[in-house]
């Protein structure tokens, strides 16, 4: 009798575990960087493809240490004349499709750094008032649209105070509207610039750059270093979701490109087992247009 009465209960547990696994393994989204090539289409066109769940507008590449912040969107618009306010229409178009749009700060080229905790708070206040939900600004570089959050692509300058910036931004989150914070660290662990910030546990999305670093990327047909690094990140960093950041074409990075067929057959089936898996990040829209990479992998992500 006891054995029979337990059987339905055990079956329910098994079914719950199976459903939970399927939900975890149901897939993620693709994050894309847009803004560094005028030939990659508009922001609205980017989101209209239906391939992306997140778009990082790149880059605000001058800020901190008392500098007047500057945004650089390459050939898309001229911020000096207020011309980038036109991007506002693209932001709202993307958001109407359920796509989260973030401002990426930093980048591989620029002049940015945080001189102190007070400086970090000043930068956070600038971002809140000029790109997010704040009202204390007479000039919003991207127009009136309210972005969903800020992406930290920090590759230069100071290694401190990024945690202060993240806390200040996240403090503006409200039940009806979250301020999302994301990060794009290099794959060597811990990241030189963002290690301390990531320890706050505040980051919603972490798209690790698994390229341009032979010690932790796909190389010479081997996935060993890549998977080992992925496991280190997903078990060590307290974040909402972690993404595998990749170049969208061989020319998009110095090294680390993974053929789509290899990603789908040898890598995604492994990394999707992690409860932290959020999807794939690609650099960048311009290169993705050339290669069709996101179209090739979206069914497997």
131-158 confidence digits (pLDDT tens): 999 999 989 999 999 999 999 999 999 9
Domain extent at residue 244: 30-297
Is 91 a domain residue? yes
Report how many domains make up the chain.
1
Between CA 135 and CA 75, with CA 52 as vertex, the angle to 5 degrees is 65
Is 6 a domain residue? no
Is 219 a domain residue? yes
Catalytic residues: 155
CB 151 within 8 A of CB 56: yes
Total-model pTM: 0.91
The pLDDT value given to residue 6: 43
The pLDDT value given to residue 129: 98
Residue 278 pLDDT class (50, 70, 90 cuts): very high
The per-residue pLDDT for range 116-125, each reduced to its tens digit, is 999 999 999 9
Is 2 a domain residue? no
Is 170 a domain residue? yes
List the one residue out of 227, 147, 232, 245 whose CA is nearest residue 189: 232
Is 140 a domain residue? yes
Would the pLDDT of 26 be above 90?
no
From CA 286, how far away is CA 266, in angstroms rounded?
A: 26
Q: In this structure, what token pair is assigned to residue 72?
A: 């650089």
Angle between helices 117-130 and 162-170 (to 10 degrees): 40
Is 60 a domain residue? yes
Residue 210 pLDDT class (50, 70, 90 cuts): very high
Is 24 a domain residue? no
**Averaged pLDDT, 205-212:** 98
**What CATH number does the domain containing 102 carry?**
3.20.20.80
């Amino acid at each position: 009798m006891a054995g029979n009465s337990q059987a339905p209960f055990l079956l329910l547990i098994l079914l719950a575990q199976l459903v939970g696994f399927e939900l975890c393994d149901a897939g993620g989204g693709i994050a894309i960087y847009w803004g560094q090539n005028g030939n990659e289409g508009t922001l609205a066109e980017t989101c209209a493809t239906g391939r992306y769940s997140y778009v990082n507008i790149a880059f605000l590449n001058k800020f901190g240490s008392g500098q007047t912040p500057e945004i650089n969107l390459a050939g898309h618009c001229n911020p000096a004349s207020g011309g980038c306010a036109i991007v506002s229409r693209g932001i709202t178009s993307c958001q109407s499709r359920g796509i989260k749009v973030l401002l990426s700060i930093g980048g591989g080229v620029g002049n940015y750094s945080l001189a102190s905790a007070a400086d970090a708070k000043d930068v956070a206040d600038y971002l809140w008032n000029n790109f997010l939900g704040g009202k204390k600004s007479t000039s919003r570089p991207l127009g009136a649209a309210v972005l969903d959050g800020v992406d930290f692509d920090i590759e230069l300058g100071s290694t401190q105070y990024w945690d202060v910036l993240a806390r200040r931004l996240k403090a503006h989150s409200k039940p009806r509207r979250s301020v999302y914070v994301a990060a794009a660290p290099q794959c060597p662990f811990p990241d030189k610039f963002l290690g301390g910030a990531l320890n706050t546990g505040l980051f919603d999305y972490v798209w690790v750059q698994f390229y341009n670093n032979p010690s932790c990327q796909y190389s010479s047909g081997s996935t060993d270093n890549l998977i080992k690094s992925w496991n280190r990140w997903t078990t060590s960093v307290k974040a909402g979701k972690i993404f595998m950041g990749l170049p969208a074409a061989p020319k998009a990075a110095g090294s680390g490109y993974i053929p789509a067929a290899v990603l789908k057959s040898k890598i995604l089936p492994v990394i999707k087992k992690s409860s932290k898996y959020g999807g794939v990040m690609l650099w960048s829209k311009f290169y993705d247009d050339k290669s069709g990479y996101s179209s090739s992998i979206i069914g497997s992500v």
